[in-house]
Structure 1
């Protein structure tokens, strides 16, 4: 990998060109996931999943001395993302079901200049639906992000995209 240059003298190229300056990038991500699900009685399921993710990016420019521009080009960036998913599902024997999900996310960042603050938020989702005989199909209506809560997570740690505003979903699944 390297650094790109945009030289005004070469306007016949409308895009950046690779320079001979080297750049060394190293990315590492570690995750820990704990999951527990429990059938409660005949009709209820309760579940919890916790995930801790650490992302680390090291960016080095070995050909550019630190003192040449007065500010550091090398970066050691880290981000920690905690997420917990809590679920309660009710399944009636006739096929009707309801589901409630609560998702907690908390992220902290380190090494950024200027500082990038983390975020800490909850999102709540509710679903109602019907499963056909022998689960040959499912019709479902859901309201996601009931609290209409936007968020700002650093993409250094990978995560499943959550809705940024209240959202209605409708789905029909057929199994053959």
Structure 2
């Protein structure tokens, strides 16, 4: 079972600049049972895991009327394994992303390039809590999007 609360805020800082930020806290728990197998025979026939995850993100977006755009994005994630019989450690890390690009053909096409996980920060999260798969190492990308 997972319960979560999310808050997002966005603000224009002029004609071409926007700032957004958000926070999400979630708690996930799992009760595992193997019916018919007593814990005296198999100690892990019954177990309980609970994870508390904090996620904070901020982004700065610049869009020029000519189509050029730039984005800087940061995210902080902290996971606490509060009741976990798997011996997994929690984790606490930051990741930073940068990208720049150009929209053209009346915004029907977008060509962008950038780097994800700029600081090359690896992480180990408990899969019990739902989270977006993030790059585990510095990743360069080029993308082309077409909209019709």
TM-score by length of 1: 0.79
What residue ranges of structure 1 are gaps of 5+ in the alignment?
A: 1-27
Q: Which residue of 1 aligns with 2:122?
A: 150
Task: State whether residues 47 and 85 of structure 2, in contact with CA within 8 Å, keep that contact through their aligned partners in structure 1.
Answer: no
Separation in 2 of the partners of 1:46 and 1:65? 55
RMSD: 1.4
Separation in 1 of the partners of 2:39 and 2:136? 40
Q: CA deviation at 1:117?
A: 1.1
Q: Which residue of 1 aligns with 2:22?
A: 49
The one-character-per-residue Cα deviations of 1:69-107 (angstroms, maximum 9, x if unpaired) are 5x3531111011111111001111111111000011100
Separation in 2 of the partners of 1:165 and 1:68? 42
Q: CA deviation at 1:56?
A: 0.6
Task: Look at both structures and tell me which one has the larger radius of gyration over its CA atoms.
Answer: 1
Which aligned segments of 4 or more residues in structure 1 are displaced greater than 6 angstroms? Answer: none
Greater RCO, CA 8 A, separation 6+? 2
What residue ranges of structure 2 are gaps of 5+ in the alignment?
A: none
Indicate yes or no: 2:13 matched with 1:40.
yes
Q: Which residue of 2 aligns with 1:99?
A: 71
- After TM superposition, the structure 1 = structure 2 runs for residues 1-176 of structure 1, keeping only pairs within 5 Å, are 28-69=1-42, 71=43, 73-113=45-85, 115-176=87-148
